Structure 1
Amino acid sequence: MAFTRKFYIADTHLLHERLLGMQPRPFETIEDHDEAIIERWNSVVAEDDIVYHLGDFAFSLKQNADRVREIFGRLKGHKHLIIGNHDLDKRGNLHPTLASLDWASRPEHALRTRDGGHDVWMAHYAARTWPCSSYGSFHFYGHSHGKLPGAGRSRDVGVDLPDVDFTPRTFSELTKGMIE
């Protein structure tokens, strides 16, 4: 039986062309951006691994539904979505394109897991307190693109943080220096 690992990532913003001019993303085109994320994702994630995506998976979902499905199919692992603001339609519902993808579980606004013997609370948005935060749990979030520093055992896991580098990361990689 293969060992299953867990990975975390947020804010891939696949197909979000305007983001290239707004965020520090070192890619010439959105095609280069998307292919780099696919390549880096698949270089660390195996087919049986679990990946928690903490929101803002893709952009222009209606216009690019086929491309979103194609990219999703190329990404390895059992993928879980924590819903981000760009994952919703104008009515606040999960966008139909994302809802049609073969997620490993129903997309949620927050999820909780255990990893490395620790409780991990995941949401797209940062929180200053979260379930079991007083008992040593961790909180992973996205949305802020590195502009909102973590507090205590919380941290941004967005692709554009230097230690994430557009690559899904493990709990031990993300909590390095946070655990005594």
Structure 2
Amino acid sequence: MNYYIADCHFGDEQVIAYSRRPFHSLEEMDETMVKNWNKVVRDYDDVYIIGDLVSRSQDPLSYLERLKGRLHLVCGNHDGPMLKDPTCRDRFVEVSDYLVVEDHKHRLVLFHYPLLEWDGYYYGTWHLYGHIHNHLSDNQERAKSLFKALNCGADVVGFKPRTFDELVAINKKDRDREKRPEGSV
């Protein structure tokens, strides 16, 4: 099974306030996310991390050793320090800046930042991204307007890796919620 997630920011207490995460402490956030991850992912599953896995941590390997699955990293803007450690880097099946994968019948372009257009855009290819978390912004609105672009940010997908089908449903629900007139349920 393939799973996808972005912007975990393990080890980064500042992300709790920055992204309005529902955690009272760094320890609660990290432990909840590791537990959620390991509930759904098996050792033989492939997990595509679309950037910003571990941030601001003195010991990124302590997180990597606890996460189940075969880890594939598409680098984000906070992954550089972790990747300087060869032991951490070796924990990944692959490390890339931009990755194209097949998931059943779907072709997916994985890149940390949301793109307005990507390889295969006109031929049914999907784009999975992170970086913009759950923030209200012009960029968030632009990205949501792209039908085949899916936000995989931990804040958006419930703080655990998700399958492609789950990502489609979560992003559709999020887009539909925003289209409702104010005051409607």
Which interval holds the TM-score relative to the shorter structure? 0.7 to 0.9
How much does 1:145 deviate? 0.6
How much does 1:88 deviate? 2.1
Residue 63 (structure 2) aligned to one of 46, 71, 74:
71
Q: Secondary structure at the match of 1:41?
A: helix
Alignment of 1:30-45 (within 5 A): 30-45=26-41
- Does structure 1 residue 104 correspond to structure 2 residue 93? yes
Q: What is the letter of the counterpart of residue 156 of structure 1?
A: N
- Assess if the C-alpha contact under 8 Å between 2:19 and 2:134 holds in 1: no
Distance 1:101 1:60, change over 3 A: farther
Alignment of 1:1-180 (within 5 A): 5-61=1-57, 64-65=58-59, 68-89=60-81, 95-97=83-85, 100-105=89-94, 107-147=95-135, 148=140, 149-150=143-144, 151-161=146-156, 164-176=157-169
Q: Secondary structure at the match of 2:166?
A: helix
Deviation track 1:73-122 (CA, whole Å, cap 9, x = no partner) reads 11000000000001125xxxx741375341011x1111110113010000
In the alignment, the residues of structure 2 paired with residue 88 and residue 123 of structure 1 have an alpha-carbon distance, to the nearest angstrom, of 15
- Assess if the C-alpha contact under 8 Å between 2:107 and 2:126 holds in 1: yes
**Cα RMSD over matched residues?**
1.7
Q: Greater shift after overlay, 24-33 or 169-178?
A: 169-178
Moved over 2 A (4+): 97-101
Structure 2, unpaired ranges of 5+: 173-185
How much does 1:155 deviate? 1.5
Deviation track 1:149-172 (CA, whole Å, cap 9, x = no partner) reads 3312002110001xx100100011
- Assess if the C-alpha contact under 8 Å between 1:116 and 1:172 holds in 2: no
In the alignment, the residues of structure 2 paired with residue 112 and residue 120 of structure 1 have an alpha-carbon distance, to the nearest angstrom, of 6
In the alignment, the residues of structure 1 paired with residue 77 and residue 122 of structure 2 have an alpha-carbon distance, to the nearest angstrom, of 28
- Assess if the C-alpha contact under 8 Å between 1:116 and 1:171 holds in 2: no
Structure 1, unpaired ranges of 5+: none
- Return the structure number with greater helix share: 2
In the alignment, the residues of structure 2 paired with residue 119 and residue 12 of structure 1 have an alpha-carbon distance, to the nearest angstrom, of 24
Identity rate, percent: 33
In the alignment, the residues of structure 1 paired with residue 99 and residue 127 of structure 2 have an alpha-carbon distance, to the nearest angstrom, of 10
Tell me the number of residue pairs that the alignment of Structure 1 and Structure 2 aligns: 163
- Assess if the C-alpha contact under 8 Å between 1:69 and 1:101 holds in 2: no
Q: What is the letter of the counterpart of residue 100 of structure 2?
A: R
How much does 1:13 deviate? 0.3
Q: What is the letter of the counterpart of residue 10 of structure 2?
A: L
TM-score, structure 2 as length reference: 0.83
